[in-house]
Amino acid sequence: MASVSTLLSGLSGLTVNARKLEVVGNNIANINVPGFKSSRVNVYNTFSRNFSLGSVPGADSGGTNPGQIGLGASVAGTQRNMSNAAVVPTGVPTDVGIEGSGFFIVSSAVGTSYTRAGNFQLNANNELVNTSGQRVQGFGVDQNFNVITGSLVPVEIPLGSK
């Protein structure tokens, strides 16, 4: 029976490392994708078995720790890295970046989605769109340039006017 638990412990470690390699490979493959956020794998120990109990500190010793044997490891989850990346000038006036953990809201006929990629351009109607043609959404402004909260509208940049 001991050899089976030993094999399962080793197998659990291989499974965890395989998942780590998948995440690292995904991070490397997407390194130059605009707005990409890397990930990391969180690991935790699975149940451990006590083979000796610990003892309390005495007058002449600090006590002893319990003897434990772990039964392997498991993936606790994958965590997205939302820290700020370096903002790199592109020379394109419609390219923008986000600091913090926010997202751009873009919409199309299919629906609304969120993105960190800020490589935008103007369409024929002077609306800010991403490379897929989805329109960037934001709150409108009135004649006095006060933000009108409530509903999102496509971001429009009327060239040649305020």
Q: What is the pLDDT of residues 73-128, one digit of tens each?
A: 999 999 988 777 777 788 888 888 888 778 899 998 888 999 888 889 998 888 89
pLDDT of residue 161: 63
Q: What is the pLDDT of residues 28-61, one digit of tens each?
A: 999 888 778 889 999 988 877 788 888 899 888 8
For residue 136, with 0-12 CB atoms within 10 Å meaning exposed, 13-18 middle and 19 or more buried, which class applies? buried
User: Residue 15 has what DSSP assignment?
Assistant: H
What's the per-residue H, E or C state across 68-83? EEECCEEEEEEEECCC
d(CA 68, CA 45): 12
pLDDT of residue 67: 85
pLDDT of residue 143: 83
